[in-house]
A and B are shown apart, each in its own frame.
Chain A
Amino acid sequence: MADFFNNYDLGGFYDEMFSAPGVPRPHYAPLMKRYQAMTGIGEMFAKQKAADETFINRGVTFTVYSDQAGTEKIFPFDLIPRIIAAKEWAEMEKGLTQRMTALDHFLKDIYSDQRIIKEGIIPRELVESCSHFRPELVGVKLPRNRHVHINGTDLIRDADGSYKVLEDNLRTPSGVSYVLENRQIMKRVFPNLLRNYRVRPVAGYTSDLLDLLNWLAPEHVPDPTVVLLTPGVFNSAYYEHAFLARQMGIQIVEGSDLVIENDKVYMKRTGGLTPVHVIYRRIDDDFLDPTVFRKDSLLGVPGLFEAYRKGNVALTNPIGTGIADDKAVYYYVPQMIKFYLGEDALLPNVETYLTSDPKERNFILENLPKLVVKSVNEAGGYGMLIGPHSTAKEIGEFRDKIIANPRNFIAQPTLAFSRCPTICGDEMGGRHIDLRPYILNGESIKIIPGGLTRVALKKGSLVVNSSQGGGAKDTWVLADDREINDVQEVASGLRSIKPEKISV
C-alpha cells in the first residue's frame, strides 16, 4: 500500500482534495483509494514518466521564444486530476454564462450607443484610454450581432473554497489544446478510474467551435470556408494552432496566404484564389491589417479590416474585444451584469483596487508589500508585482511606475489560491492552481466541462503561466454526484504509451 499522502501538508490553504489532514473530500475519496492501491510512489513516477514521453513523442509542445535552435518544451503535466463535483460545476456554468452574456452586451454597447458610459456606470476616460479600444469599430455591424465569441475566464478558489474570477481573456485565449491532449493521456493511464468517475468528456469542444465558426459566416453563403490564421511556425502557440486546425479539418493559413480583392478575402492556392468567409484568427488586433492598425506588421493582411467592416468576412474573436479584458475594465464587470441583465453577479470578482482612483491609489501605495499589482494589458504572468514575494527595491520601482502611469495598473490582495496535491520530485506536495474554462458564445453559450487547470509547480509560487514555470492537470467535471464505486485498474501497468494518431 502506497503511503504518499501520509506526509502531505495542507499548509493552511484550501485544499482541493483534503478537508483535513488525511481526510479526503467525498468526490476525491475513490481517487485516493486508487492511488493507495499502487505499489508505491515508484509506480506513480513510472506513469508520470510514460505520460511525459507521450507528450514529447506526439510533439505536444510549445516553442521557447529566445532559443535559435527552436527548442520545444512540453507543458508539464501532473497526473493527479482536479475534480469538480457536478453541483459545483452547474453553479459555475451559470455564473460564466451570465458573465459572458454581460461582456457581449458591453462590447456591443461600447461600439454603438455607449449607454453604460452615458449613464455614468463606467467613466468615459477609462474606456477611451484603453489601449485595446478600437474607435474604427464604432458603428460596425457584426455577424449575428455577436461581439465576442470565445472567452477564457480565469477562476481561482479562495481560502473559503468559493470560486472567484481573476480575469477574462477575450482576445485569443490559448491552452485549450492541452485540455484535449491531457484528457487523452489520462484516458490511457487511468481508463477505469475515468469511467467509474463518470467524467464529462471534453472532446466536443472542437465540434462546438467549428459550429460557432460556421454559424458566423455571411448568411448568403451555403458552404462557407473557415480558416485559422496563425502568426506562423515561430509563435509559441503554433502547436495549438495546428492542432485545432487539424481537429476541425480547416486550413491553417498565414497572413501572406490571404489576399483581399474588392473587399473580399481569398486564400492563395495553387489552383487560384478561393474565397474565405470566416477567420479564426490567432493574431492580435494590432497585427491584423497594416493599413489600419500597426503599419509595420508583416503578419497581417492589408485590406482585411475593410472586408470585415463590410461584413464579407467574420473574425473570431471580433476586433476590439480586448477592451473588456483590460484589468481596469474588469473591475466594472459586476456593474455591467447589473446594468445589462438586472442581476447580481453569480461569480464574484476578486477584490480589486484601481490605481486610477485617487483614494484607492493612496491605499495601494501604502500597502504595496501586501498586494499583488498587475499591469492592465499584460498577460502571461508578465508585468506584475507580488508584494509579499518582492524585495524593497522591486516594490519601490513599482511605486514609481504606478505614480507615473496610474491608468496602467490595478491591485488585488494576495490571495490564498486553493492548492491541489501534485507530484513534486519524489514527494506529493500541495501546489496552487487556477482554472480556465473556455466559453463559446454562438447560437447558445457552450462551456467546455472544466477547462485548463494550471498549477504553479514552484513551491509557494502563485504564478501558473506556462511561460513562468506552470504546469497543467486534467480537470474532471463529474456528470452526476452519485456515489463512485471503488476502482480496480487493470489496463495499464508500467508500460510506456506509444504515440498514436490523436482522435477526439
Chain B
Amino acid sequence: MLSRVANLIYWTARYLERCENTLRLIDVNAQLVLDLESHDDFHDPRIWEPLVYVTGEEKKFFKLHGKIATEEAVVQFLLFDRQNPSSLLSCVAGARENARCVRDQISSEMWEVLNTFYLKLKTQDYQTYVQTGSNEYIADLKLRTQQIYAVAESMLPRNEGWWFYLLGRYLERADNVSRILDIKYYMILPDRHHVGSALDVIQWGSVLRSCSAFEAFRRTQRGQLKLESVINYLIRDKEFPRSILASVAAAENCLHKICVEKAPAHTKVLLAEIGALREHLENSEVTAIIANGLHEYIDDIQSRVASVGAATVDCFVNYGPAKATLA
C-alpha cells in the first residue's frame, strides 16, 4: 500500500475516534450538571472548564472566550469551532478531506456517509444544541459517528488499510481515555475529604460514563465506586475495550499485522516499543500509581502513546531514504 494512502486512512480513523470521545465527554457533563444538588454548583464555571483542558487547547479557548468557561462557550468550542483543531467539526472535516483522497480504497459509500454528516454539521451551532436539547442532539451526533464506523466495518477491504484504520482508532482511544482520566482526577482531587460521599460517587460515576464504562464496571467489579478501583479499571482492565491497556494491546495487534511481510530490521524497534508499553501497563500497581502521582503516570503513558504514533508514521510513511528497503 502507498504510504500516503495508509497515512490518510490512519488519520481518518483518529479523527473519527476523537469525534466520538468529544461527544461522550459533553454528553456526560451535561448530565452531570443535572445531578448536582446545589444551585451554586450548577453555575460553577468549573463544571465545564475541565472539558477544555481535555482538548489541550485551553490557551486558544481562553483567548477566544475570556476566563469564564460557560456551557455555551465550551460547547461551541468543542463542537463547532473550526479554530479548535480537535472540535467535532474540525475532526469531521479532517476525516472527510482524507477520505475523499482515498475514496477508491475505502469505498464511495464510506466517503458519502462522512460527506453527508459534514454537510449537515457545518450548518449547525450552539442554538441547534439548545433547541434540540443537549441529550437528544448529542445522541443523534453519536449515532451518526457510529453509523460511519458501521459503514467502515462493512465496506473497508481487509487489507493493510484496515489495520491502519484500526490502529488509528486504538491509539487515539488510548490517548483520549488517558486525558479524560487525568482531567477528571484533577477536578475531583480537592474534594477528597468527601470520599465516599454522594457527590464523590456521582463524580466517579461520571468519569466512568465519559468512557462508557459505567455499566461494564458495575457488572465486573461489583464494588462501590472507589478511587482505586475506577482508576485501575480504566487503565488496566483487560476486557473493557476502552481501557488504556486494552486499547494499547489492540493497537499492538494491528502493528503486528501490518509488519507481516515487512523487513524485520525496520519494524523491530517499533514493535518493541509498543510491546514495552503494554507490559508496563500490565505490570503497574494501582496503589503505587496513586502514591507516586496519577498525573505523572498518565503523562508518561500519554507521551509513550504519542511516541508510538510518531514512530509508526516514521516507519511506514515518513521514512528517510536510508531506512528504505526494496521490498
Contacts and interface: CB of A to CB of B under 8 A. Distances in A.
Nearest to A260: B321
B326 interface: yes
B269 interface: no
A256 B319 CA distance: 13
A485 B228 CA distance: 87
Nearest to A262: B321
B40 interface: no
B122 to A, nearest CB: 9
Given A69-B119, A270-B6, A259 B321 contact: yes
A246 B258 contact: no
A271 B261 CA distance: 8
B71 interface: no
Given A257-B2, A267-B2, A272 B100 contact: no
Nearest to A59: B108
Contacts of B160: 270
Interface residues of B, number: 26
The list of the 4 closest CB pairs from A to B, nearest first, reads: A272-B325, A271-B327, A270-B316, A273-B324
B2 A271 contact: no
Interface of A: 59, 69-70, 232-233, 242, 246, 251-254, 256-257, 259, 261, 266-275
Given A69-B119, A251-B2, A257-B3, A271 B100 contact: no
B263 A272 contact: yes
Given A253-B2, A272-B325, 15 more contacts: A232-B101, A242-B103, A242-B104, A246-B104, A257-B3, A268-B2, A268-B3, A268-B317, A269-B1, A270-B258, A270-B262, A271-B261, A272-B324, A273-B324, A274-B327
Contact of A269 (B100, B101, B266, B327): B327
Given A69-B119, A232-B101, A233-B101, A271 B325 contact: yes
B313 to A, nearest CB: 11
A272 B266 CA distance: 9
A167 to B, nearest CB: 32
A122 B6 CA distance: 51
Interface string B160-191: 10001000000000000000000000000000
A268 B101 contact: no
A271 B263 contact: yes
A270 B100 contact: no
B296 to A, nearest CB: 35
Interface of B: 1-4, 6, 100-101, 103-104, 108, 119, 160, 164, 258, 261-263, 266, 316-317, 319, 321, 324-327
Nearest to A261: B321
Given A69-B119, A233-B101, A272 B4 contact: no
Nearest to B318: A268
A256 B325 CA distance: 18
A233 B96 CA distance: 13
A233 B100 contact: yes
21 contacts: A59-B108, A232-B101, A233-B103, A251-B2, A254-B4, A261-B324, A267-B2, A268-B2, A269-B2, A270-B2, A270-B3, A270-B6, A270-B164, A271-B261, A271-B262, A271-B263, A272-B262, A272-B263, A272-B266, A272-B325, A275-B326
A256 B101 contact: no
Contacts of A261: 321, 324
Contacts of B104: 242, 246, 252
B315 to A, nearest CB: 8
A256 B101 CA distance: 13
B263 A256 contact: no
Given A257-B2, A268-B4, A270-B258, A70 B100 contact: yes
A272 B2 contact: no
A259 B321 CA distance: 9
A231 to B, nearest CB: 12
B146 to A, nearest CB: 25
B103 to A, nearest CB: 8
B1 A270 contact: yes
Interface centre among A254, A270, A275 (most CB of B within 10 A): A270
A159 B319 CA distance: 62
B291 to A, nearest CB: 42
